[in-house]
Structure 1
Amino acid sequence: MSSIRHLIPALSTIILIATTFASNQPPEPPRPFLIHDTAPAPQWEQAYVVGNGRLGATSLGSFPSETIILNEETVWERKPDTPLPTDARAILEQARTLIQDGSPHLANQLYTSKLQSQNARPSAYQLLANLNIKHNLQATSPTFTFSNWKITDTQISAKNPARHTITLSAHIDIPPDQYPNLINPTIVIPRTKAFLDIALNKQHLGSSSKWNPITNYPTTPPTSPNTHLLKPGQNTIFITYKNISTDTPLPAPATLTTTPPLTRSLDFYRGINTTNIALPQGQITRTLIASHPHNLIALNITNTTPQGLDLTLALSRPAGASTSTDHNDLLITGQAVLTSDFKTPAGTKFQARLHPIINTSKTNLTITPDNQLQIQGGSSLTLLITAATDYNYNNPRAPLTPNFNKQTLKPLISAKNLSFNQILTAATNDTASLMSRCNIDLGSTPSSLTQLTTPKRLAHLKQNHLTNIDPDFIEDLFQFGRYLLISSSRPNTLPANLQGIWNPHLYPRWNADFHLNINLQMNYWPAEVTNLSSLHKPLLDFTKRLLPQGKTLAQTLGYDGFTTGHATDAFLQSRIMTKATWWGGSLTSSSWLTDHLFTHYQFTQDKTFLASAFPVLEQNARFFLTWLKPDPNTNLLLTGPGASPENSFWFYDKQNKKHQVGLSLGCTYDQQLAHQSLTNYLTAARILDIQNQYTSASNQALDQLAPTTPIGPDGRVMEWRKPEYIEREYDHRHLSHLYAFFPGSQYNTLENPAFTNAALKSLNTRFEHSQDHTGWNLGWMTNLYATLGQSDRALECIQRLFKMKISPNLFDLHPPFQIDGNFGATAGIAHLLIKSNAKTPENNTIIELLPALPNQLHTGSAQGLRARGNFTIDQMTWKNSHLTSLTITSHSSLPTTILANNKTYPLIFTNNQTQTLTFPAP
């Protein structure tokens, strides 16, 4: 179908229905949304998380010792500012001249040596504290220690003789009569920052690194969770430490531990994490929630054994904090530390408080001299955890003067007089009310699969990801992404960072910061389309707060308006960062952010919001008006110098020497963002009836803008506009040159077939050359394939995600954990079912239903999806890939055209009307 104007209208049955009813009780889910396992998480990336937007908690489900990792979204180190050189403008102009003169490699060298010489990076998000729980019970199962340790291999690094690789081996004997009693056998090794591999009986068990320090290894290979490698009699363990310093003492010996029968689960429709431990005379249950209504974390522990509760609790942090007590409350107070030494206080000051609530006089509480809390007797205990920091949302660079005692006690005033069940009900109703806004049913999965633990179900899918389609599991992935957004992004909080709000480290990978060249924006792709528009607000507010620092950066570089570097942090740092131009050379991330402001308006039609966002849209347009320069050869406007995010090209100089280069003029990504930014600004100005010198200049700039999306001789979209800029990586993870197709809206399949065909060729090249992906790359590919109408490839991306990048707790893995892939997957699954990026000649939204429905998901239904123009799909059903019914509400009384079953259905609405359509069978 090549043009909107060629679509054929069709008749349908239209029935007006009554408005929806209101209820204080959220509806029950259509089925349980649960992930579960029968063993503790062997590493943090397999743990279960809860969050209330500000506070997060992670449970590994361990026993008898458990660590609950606690997070507060504003605990960040603050690195010293590293200002750009005062002659930054001259340097940038010199780089532009060098590129124009045919020497982009020299421009690259100049940029790196002068503007990136300090190798600045954003500050790091840090954990708040650990809650350490020890159940003081007599051993219920045996523990064995490996013995006869030997060094079996040593390899000295050729590049660095001070570092080497060493392999150790040891034996353990399991008496045959004790072997049947080993439940959840796990090898426990000391934590180390050295890269590490572990094998049992010559079968690989797992790997570790400083970014992902694993200490617990179940004795089952990760690829075959049904296969136990431990056997009666002698067993041999091999541990290889890689890149370890020659003077580092080797860690202490490993042990084999076992645990009682254990189950752990996460109900992510309600936000309840439960761990059950079965003991000979009873059961221990830990229930963990994060309450948004009460602004706290709550943990309930019950013990039905005759012994009753016997616990030791402590708060701890690797550095930068001290513990104290306040009556029976445990406190930990401190300040974030620089990641350069993990000692120097720098950044957010904080305090966390643990308040115990006992439910019987039989329970005794004792504070130890080292600030631990011992609890003995009784059968039930509730722990309330609160936290406060000195972070100033209105001006992050000017910390508040905190009263931590008052701030951490405030949430307890109402909550401490409530039962745990009352706190639980308020928290879960709050979460479920948001989750219930959108549901999808993609078909049925056999009960033989749905009854499996999540790791086993994932392993089954991985055995043949192309044929083992699990519709319920795809629904789970969709809803889990929504759960993560609900848990990590609420109004009046920071936006979700690279890890949402969950982090066990002082120095997480990529700082767990805000990467602005795809990652932060991808976090919010599901917000509008899956009916969580209010959760978009943290990103929208954050974008507005970036304005002052962004204006400073633009002025330092000699431009008007505002812009940002490729990454920032909680302190709104805005500058050119890192040591390579392909990372730090991009200056258009601000435009990607401002597009979210306009997208929010498109979905909500909220003119008051648009008016509040207009100054930011205008400032970003003003940046382009001064950054765009005429091409000496064509007199058309080009962006630059700029980089296509994290990608680079080969360039041969006049001596035929090859150079890796990131900078160019008018790269496709920058040109597309210039077009998107100026178009959004002018559209907003027309809606708000604003005309000024900048609207006039923007109209002129759009007319003179060089083509945004050049197509090469091979029919693909060119990432760089000159053919002598040679593509280096056909499998590169970023798809920046396809921005205008998704999430941008310059092109659509109805009006721009030539461009969308070129985009598809480019996307296919990346997909087919990729042997490995990042999780977020597959999320982006899913959305692009869905937007381009390629249902089979979109589903294959989802299946590859399951096969390669989804952890047994449904976390997306870069690796390690990056939350953006979860959000990208959720949005991509939604875009299989709905698309609203095109308009009729009358400027009405076209809502395409089932635009990329895979054949394997041929029958199903959806409720609560949203479309631009402020429309809600209250209900739609399909059978045999044919839309059978639709109920739709126009909340702004705007007309629309439905495109379904290859026909169009124009609809006119009045008074926020709801209409129902039925479609005859084909």
Structure 2
Amino acid sequence: MIALPGVALPGVSLPGVSGATPLEAAADLRLWYRQPAKAWVEALPVGSGRLGAMVFGGVASERLQLNENTLWGGGPYNPVNPEAAAALPEIRRLIDAGDYAGATRLADAKFMATPLRQMSYQTLGDLRLTFPGLPETAQGYVRDLDLDAATARVRFSHAGVAHVREVIASAPDQVIAVRLGADRPGAVSVDLAFDSPLKPGISVENGDTLVLSGRNAGQHGIASALTVDCRVKVVARGGKVIASATGLSVRDADEVLLLAAAATSYRRFDDVSGDPAADDRARLARASRKPWSALLAAHRADHRRLFRKVSVDFGTTGAALRPTDERIRLSPTTHDPALAALYFQYGRYLLIACSRPGGQPANLQGLWNDQMNPPWGSKFTININTEMNYWPAEPTGLADCVKPLIEMVRDLSITGARTARAMYGARGWVAHHNTDLWRATAPIDGAKYGVWPTGGAWLCKHLWDRYDYGRDTAYLADVYPLLKGAALFFLDALVVDPRSGRLVTNPSISPENDHGHGSSLVAGPTMDQAIVRDLFHSCIASARILGQDTDLAAQFAAARDKLAPYRIGKDGQLQEWQD
């Protein structure tokens, strides 16, 4: 249970709090299955924050679908429409006049980003492992993902030999490591090949390293700007390693360790000058000096430092003994409280695996993506999805995982300042409903989807929450300029609603809501009023805590007090629109 002053919640334990105990690896922290994955969504994810793999768990052949979190389409670009600022007053006038359809037509023609779409997160492709002499199915087959050890495993027997394969994505060593083992000497043979949509060059270095080199794909008229490198080093104990022009083979080894490193030339949203091949060579050189046991120990210690901060026990029934897919299938009619605990911890596991300091934040698919044009681009959708990824972080002991999000907001404050000036003639910075690796901040997709200027402001809630949970004034001093910049934008961009005399956003939308009057464009949706009100509050509190900006804080307070109030509708609901 949680034991906090005046609060007791059954079933959850936190470290440093009365009643908490260290979390031990157990069956209730394991996803397991009796068959390999057939579809991508059935594969098991591992991630270091920067590198990810989906492990399919085949017997005769294994597919490791690979990702590196800076592999996106295109390159640095400025999407601000040069006609936007001139169109803004007329868009506002049309909205005030109730001509929402006319405002939408004008916004679509003059106000939207160029290009209209942002760049997509892309895949490296697959590392394919083929095991000569092994069948498609085998006795005693089990594949599992140990959430506490952050290790994917496959175990089976064939012809009297027990095989085990383990996969980790190590944050300390920045590699994906694969151990192929058997209980009989000389029983491990494997062929390695890359299969990638990047149309890369494939080569072999030093007789033991398979190399994929190429470029990202251009998109939406934005040219490719990233060089890409992925390499797998083979370390065999016993047997022999055989190199061909585009592949590697191992025959009759006692054990094989595969070390995979990947990188792009991305350094920052405006800098693509990195040398990914040199970076990967250095990572593999360091990792290959360590035995599997050392790599595994460092990886587990690093993961458990975060994962074991929270334990959950909702009780267990016999249903917990079934494979995970069976438990899910039977859950509507079976009492299985431990499945809820497993689901809770799996969510924490995924955030640890896809969001680590120094990397990108979790995108729409976290870290894992097998397509060049995934659904919604697998972008950072900041009108709720990115925020949802991080809502559990602070309450479940994963503050470290928020750091990539904070750094993205820092980037957005730079690109968003350009957008605020060029589109709105405003100080501060703004971001609309999506962004990408290049930190694009202009409205995209179409007016009724993208003209929503409070995406950056909503992200600022996470900056304040990090302070609220940690109470570190040095941190607050570091992020206060980001909060202040977001609030300054609204000091300049809010306008007076001619009917109520209140300050409102205009133009804006209520994301994924249609008010039924010819469009979704509107002035002052309640969602905006709530976010901006909260942003002003955070800035006022920050200024007071830090002892600065007294006059500016007073301006924020005055603007906050002029925002449109919440309204209760005829059915007792919180009204989303002013009318």
TM-score range, shorter chain: over 0.9
What residue is the counterpart of 1:459 in the other structure? 329
Counterpart contact for 2:75–2:438, Cα < 8 Å:
no
Measured in 2, the distance between the counterparts of 1:516 and 1:637 equals 23
What residue is the counterpart of 1:513 in the other structure? 379
The 5-angstrom pairing of residues 750-769 of structure 1 reads none
What residue is the counterpart of 2:159 in the other structure? 280
Match of 1:690 among 526, 544, 548: 548
Amino acid of the structure 1 residue aligned with 2:546:
L
Match of 1:504 among 358, 370, 394: 370
What residue is the counterpart of 1:450 in the other structure? 320
Counterpart contact for 1:320–1:345, Cα < 8 Å:
no
Seen in structure 2, the aligned counterparts of structure 1 residues 80 and 684 have a Cα distance that, compared at 3 Å, is closer
What residue is the counterpart of 1:670 in the other structure? 528
What residue is the counterpart of 1:720 in the other structure? 577
Give the superposition deviation at 1:649: 2.0
1:552 aligns with 2:418: yes
Amino acid of the structure 2 residue aligned with 1:481:
G
What residue is the counterpart of 2:433 in the other structure? 566
Q: Does the residue aligned with 2:176 lie in a helix, a strand or coil?
A: strand
Instruction: Kindly indicate which of the two structures has a greater share of residues assigned to helix.
Output: 2
Superposition CA RMSD, Å: 2.4
Seen in structure 2, the aligned counterparts of structure 1 residues 635 and 608 have a Cα distance that, compared at 3 Å, is same
**Deviation string, structure 1 residues 415-458 (Cα, Å, up to 9, x no partner):** 2222212211111121122111111212x2212x1111111111
What residue is the counterpart of 2:110 in the other structure? 114
Amino acid of the structure 1 residue aligned with 2:359:
T
Match of 2:40 among 44, 51, 70: 44
**Deviation string, structure 1 residues 35-91 (Cα, Å, up to 9, x no partner):** 100111120101101111111111111121111111111111116746433331231
Counterpart contact for 1:335–1:345, Cα < 8 Å:
no
Amino acid of the structure 1 residue aligned with 2:500:
T
**Deviation string, structure 1 residues 622-656 (Cα, Å, up to 9, x no partner):** 111112112223322122110111221211xxxxx
Counterpart contact for 1:85–1:115, Cα < 8 Å:
yes
Q: Which runs of 5+ in 1 are unaligned?
A: 1-8, 13-18, 142-257, 652-658, 723-922
Q: Does the residue aligned with 2:393 lie in a helix, a strand or coil?
A: helix
Larger radius of gyration: 1
1:488 aligns with 2:350: no
Seen in structure 2, the aligned counterparts of structure 1 residues 414 and 119 have a Cα distance that, compared at 3 Å, is closer
Match of 2:187 among 290, 308, 311: 308
Measured in 1, the distance between the counterparts of 2:125 and 2:228 equals 10
What residue is the counterpart of 2:233 in the other structure? 355
TM-score, normalization by structure 1: 0.59
Give the superposition deviation at 1:27: 5.1
Measured in 1, the distance between the counterparts of 2:471 and 2:140 equals 54
Q: Does the residue aligned with 2:325 lie in a helix, a strand or coil?
A: helix
Counterpart contact for 1:498–1:519, Cα < 8 Å:
yes
**Deviation string, structure 1 residues 689-718 (Cα, Å, up to 9, x no partner):** 1135432221211222221x2211110111
Measured in 1, the distance between the counterparts of 2:68 and 2:467 equals 30
1:329 aligns with 2:209: yes
Measured in 1, the distance between the counterparts of 2:22 and 2:120 equals 37
Seen in structure 2, the aligned counterparts of structure 1 residues 391 and 84 have a Cα distance that, compared at 3 Å, is closer
Measured in 1, the distance between the counterparts of 2:473 and 2:90 equals 43
Q: Does the residue aligned with 2:392 lie in a helix, a strand or coil?
A: helix
Measured in 2, the distance between the counterparts of 1:715 and 1:301 equals 62
Match of 1:420 among 283, 288, 292: 292
Measured in 1, the distance between the counterparts of 2:114 and 2:265 equals 29
Measured in 1, the distance between the counterparts of 2:486 and 2:223 equals 36
Counterpart contact for 2:25–2:149, Cα < 8 Å:
no
Q: Does the residue aligned with 2:177 lie in a helix, a strand or coil?
A: strand
Seen in structure 2, the aligned counterparts of structure 1 residues 694 and 469 have a Cα distance that, compared at 3 Å, is farther
Counterpart contact for 1:36–1:453, Cα < 8 Å:
yes
1:630 aligns with 2:509: no
The 5-angstrom pairing of residues 64-463 of structure 1 reads 64-78=60-74, 81=77, 83-116=79-112, 120-137=116-133, 140=135, 261-304=140-183, 308-327=187-206, 328-339=208-219, 346-360=224-238, 363-369=239-245, 371-392=246-267, 395-402=268-275, 404-442=276-314, 444-447=315-318, 449-462=319-332
Amino acid of the structure 2 residue aligned with 1:575:
A
**Deviation string, structure 1 residues 759-804 (Cα, Å, up to 9, x no partner):** xxxxxxxxxxxxxxxxxxxxxxxxxxxxxxxxxxxxxxxxxxxxxx
Q: Does the residue aligned with 1:608 lie in a helix, a strand or coil?
A: helix
Measured in 1, the distance between the counterparts of 2:113 and 2:494 equals 26
Give the superposition deviation at 1:674: 1.4
Amino acid of the structure 1 residue aligned with 2:55:
S
Amino acid of the structure 1 residue aligned with 2:213:
T
Counterpart contact for 1:76–1:347, Cα < 8 Å:
no
Seen in structure 2, the aligned counterparts of structure 1 residues 80 and 666 have a Cα distance that, compared at 3 Å, is same
The 5-angstrom pairing of residues 478-877 of structure 1 reads 478-557=344-423, 558-579=425-446, 581-651=447-517, 659=518, 661-707=519-565, 709-722=566-579
Measured in 2, the distance between the counterparts of 1:414 and 1:106 equals 61
Counterpart contact for 1:582–1:647, Cα < 8 Å:
no
**Deviation string, structure 1 residues 515-554 (Cα, Å, up to 9, x no partner):** 1101111111111111111111110111011111101111
Counterpart contact for 1:336–1:345, Cα < 8 Å:
no
Counterpart contact for 2:113–2:442, Cα < 8 Å:
no
Give the superposition deviation at 1:571: 0.9
Equivalent residue pairs, number: 564
> Runs of 4 or more off by more than 4 Å in structure 1?
9-12, 258-261
Counterpart contact for 2:161–2:184, Cα < 8 Å:
yes
Instruction: Kindly indicate which of the two structures has a greater share of residues assigned to strand.
Output: 1
Amino acid of the structure 2 residue aligned with 1:397:
D
Q: Percent identity?
A: 30
Q: Does the residue aligned with 1:561 lie in a helix, a strand or coil?
A: coil
Seen in structure 2, the aligned counterparts of structure 1 residues 720 and 315 have a Cα distance that, compared at 3 Å, is same
Measured in 2, the distance between the counterparts of 1:472 and 1:599 equals 30
